[in-house]
Amino acid sequence: METHPLTQIAQALDQARLEAREVERVTVKHPKLTLEEAYQIQDQGIRLRLSQGEKIIGYKMGLTSEAKRAQMGLGSPIYGVLTDRMQVQNGAYFSLKGKIHPKIEPEIAFKTKRTLKGQVTQEQALAACESVCAAMEVLDSRYTGFKYFSLEDVVADNSSSSYFILGSPISPSGLDLSTLEMIMEVNGKAVQSARSSAISGHPVNSIVQLCELLTSRGLELPAGSLVLAGAATQAVTLEPGLEIRLTVEKLGEVTMRAEI
């Protein structure tokens, strides 16, 4: 039986991930690829990772800040899926071996305690969260040069999801998360800074947007899900010897050091 084209694409992208190899953008050969088809490729890619022993633990939102949309030349929020093997411990060394062209960006992450589905308000989304923390995400697109791709390309590539680091979780109760100062340092020097409002206007809005995206595909956000709210600034390229530290007002720090 002939393999479905979307399945072939998912298999090719997964093989490129495992081999740390750049590949051509999907839309070069499939220029009419739709966004829903791109999410179907993402779905199949995640199924391949599950077959390799990984477990889904949450989602990441992408293109939630004006800075990030400008950096990528893209215009609307998207999501990717997070698995347990993507997590790097706070303060740990991060090996660049087997990575293609990794970049890191400052984020805020949430952990849900209740299932969310359909249209939810900011208040409902926040009430459904048991904790919030400072976080950083490592992106690593499989596409040649990590540039010049479409929304469909990004989604098919699981929205460039690669790894993430979480700070210490705290209760969001009573916290004003709308204007927290976020400073990302490289080897002790501040290289990116923003307020948390750069993330979807308010980081909790990323959960609202995620629920809308999932609902449009007949899905829901399970209780116990991790949600990376999206980057507050542009991403920074990772190189050996770089120590990255993110400090988020009221939420503390998260750090990692890149090595070969």
CATH assignment of the domain containing 151 = 3.90.850.10
DSSP 84: G
Chain length of the chain: 260
Query: Which residue type occupies 5?
Result: P
Helix (H) or strand (E) holding 144: none
Q: Kindly give the confidence (pLDDT) of every residue in the chain, 260 residues in length, as a single tens digit, with 9 standing for 90 and above.
A: 346 799 999 999 999 999 999 999 999 999 999 999 999 999 999 999 999 999 999 999 987 765 555 555 555 789 999 999 999 999 999 999 999 999 999 999 999 999 999 999 999 999 999 999 999 999 999 999 887 678 999 999 999 999 999 999 999 999 999 999 999 999 999 999 999 999 989 999 999 999 999 999 999 999 999 999 999 998 999 999 999 999 999 999 999 999 98
DSSP state of 143: B
> How high is the pLDDT of residue 4?
77
Q: How far apart are CA 82 and CA 60, in angstroms?
A: 7
pLDDT at 2: 47
Q: What is the β-pairing status of strands 189-195 and 181-186?
A: antiparallel
Looking at the structure of the chain, the number of domains it has is 1
CA distance 161 to 260: 20
In the beta sheet, which residues pair with residue 255? 245
Residue 148's closest CA among 85, 74, 80? 74
Give strand pairing partners of 133.
Answer: 109
Pair 154, 160: CB distance under 8 Å = yes
Pull the structure tokens for residue 203: 């980081």
State the sign of the Cα–Cα–Cα–Cα dihedral 36, 42, 10, 25: positive
Query: Phi, psi at residue 23, to the nearest 5°?
Result: -135, 165
The pair of structure tokens assigned to 24 is 């051509």
Provide the domain limits for residue 173: 5-259
Put simply, whether the predicted model's pTM sits higher than 0.75 gets the answer: yes
